[in-house]
Structure 1
Amino acid sequence: MAKGNFAACLGVSLVYEGGWSDNKADPGGATMKGITLGTFRTFKPGATKTQLRNITQSDVEHIYGVGFWDPIRGNDLPFGVDMATLDYGINSGPSRAVKDLQRVVGAPVDGKMGPGTLKAVILADNKATIQKLCARRLTSMQGLKIWKTFKRGWSRRVADVEAKAVAMWLAHAGMPAPSRQSELNAEANKAQDQAQAQTKGAGGAAGGGVAAGGGNAAVSAEPNWWMIAGIAAVVVVVIAILVIKSRQHKDRAAAYKAAAATV
């Protein structure tokens, strides 16, 4: 299990959490290294924005350790799964991260990392668990009102965490470096193929929509504009979904290639 892996996992998350932020579009409000003022105040009641902005590294590690790593029982999770779960928890809360992890491994969903969940995680295919958890995380993000604002950064972050978590699992599974590199490159190629398939699908949907609309108009002196509009609306939605999926798989391909290059 990943006991002692907290620093390595947190280091990946902190790259994305960045420094000071007080973005009005972010419902979390004032944030430093991913720690909101509200969270900081649970550890230091009455803390100000200035104090948050000058938070010490020891406080950062303590807050992430007690508030995020401990609730997901990071020390008891397999290598790589701990990273994917921690980063998800930092973004969306430990309970949500655990619930999706439970869904992935087929454990009862209660948001608590109990012995039954741990057993299911340990017995599961770790690489598949990481990939499925990251996919669920991204789907959850797409349902948020602020998705349009943060979608590019979030997509790249989840892809990067997925690739690094898989690389970590492969390394701790004892796989030799050349084999790890080959495995990661294979995942990159698979993601690229998926991206290309989604792009072709979007093009096909666009062509099919035009043909359907044109066909309806051609066979009737008074075309059913409501039907045409309905078909057009469905086509637009399908194309949008395929374009988003294509972009996400491109991000995954790039992340896996970068992970392979560091082996």
Structure 2
Amino acid sequence: MAQVEKLTPLILKWEGGFVNDPDDLGGATNKGVTLKTYQTYRKAKGHPVTTIDDLKKLTREEWTDIMKGSYWNRWKADEIKNQSIANILVDWVWASGIYGIKIPQEILEVTADGIVGKNTLAALNAYEPQAELFGRIKQARYDYIERICEKRPANKKFRNGWRNRIKEFKFSE
């Protein structure tokens, strides 16, 4: 089964430090964690107010906790049999939210509700060949990028970086 520790370095490679690009719909981020996500995380930990200055101080431990709790677990990736597929799926939900679940569900021909349940996991793990599924997911990510760049031209500034990030994901058994 897939392991979060194998994905962590891949995501961190593409997520730098603190950035507050006005063209990024996510707003201020640190290592890819948005201020909104960090506020939700810290509120659950008993910190009622979280500011951009707090986000700048995001620790590796907090980052790992957020990544596993809000993204890896959202895909129930511990139950995915292929690491490569778990990696590309969790990275997609990390980068694009619910679309990183709904679009793969469409590929799998299960209810595209954005919730990973027994049917989604069963279809994912039963799909053969797994390399074909990986290729379809990867292509769907490229297609998704093109759609969001067409819909919102300001996204074009990020397109090459997004595409290069996806290229990094390779299939292995």
Question: With structure 2 as the length reference, what TM-score do the two structures score?
Answer: 0.89
Distance of 2:56 and 2:142 partners within structure 1:
29
| Larger Rg over CA atoms | 1
Shift of 1:47: 1.0
Would you say 1:134 and 2:138 are equivalent positions? Answer: yes
Shift of 1:108: 2.0
Of 116, 119, 122, 2:119 maps to 116
| 1:158 alignment partner AA | I
**Residues 84-163 of structure 1 aligned to structure 2 (within 5 Å):** 84-93=88-97, 95-124=98-127, 125-144=129-148, 145=152, 146-161=154-169, 163=170
2:46 corresponding residue in structure 1: none
Shift of 1:141: 1.5
| Stretch deviating more after TM superposition (8-17 or 24-33) | 8-17
Distance of 1:97 and 1:151 partners within structure 2:
17
Of 14, 23, 42, 1:25 maps to 23
Q: How many residues align?
A: 162
Structure 1: which 5+ residue stretches go unaligned?
171-263
Q: Which runs of 4+ in 1 moved over 2 A?
A: none
Greater helix fraction, Structure 1 or Structure 2? 1
Distance of 1:128 and 1:53 partners within structure 2:
40
Deviations 1:67-101 (A, max 9, x none): 111110010112211001011011001x2212121
Distance of 2:79 and 2:144 partners within structure 1:
25
1:70 corresponding residue in structure 2: 73
Distance of 1:104 and 1:26 partners within structure 2:
28
Distance of 1:104 and 1:14 partners within structure 2:
27
Deviations 1:32-77 (A, max 9, x none): 0000111100012411111111111110011111111111001011
Higher relative contact order (CA 8 A, sep 6+): 2
RMSD value over aligned CA atoms? Answer: 1.2
Secondary structure (helix, strand or coil) at the match of 2:168 reads helix
Is the Cα–Cα contact under 8 Å of residues 108 and 123 in structure 2 kept in the other structure? Answer: yes
Shift of 1:103: 1.6
Is the Cα–Cα contact under 8 Å of residues 29 and 35 in structure 2 kept in the other structure? Answer: yes
Distance of 1:147 and 1:140 partners within structure 2:
12
Distance of 1:74 and 1:68 partners within structure 2:
9
Structure 2: which 5+ residue stretches go unaligned?
44-48
| 1:106 alignment partner AA | E
Shift of 1:20: 1.1
Shift of 1:131: 1.3
Question: With structure 1 as the length reference, what TM-score do the two structures score?
Answer: 0.59
Distance of 1:110 and 1:23 partners within structure 2:
31
* Percent identity for Structure 1 against Structure 2: 24
Distance of 1:10 and 1:89 partners within structure 2:
14
Is the Cα–Cα contact under 8 Å of residues 23 and 155 in structure 2 kept in the other structure? Answer: no
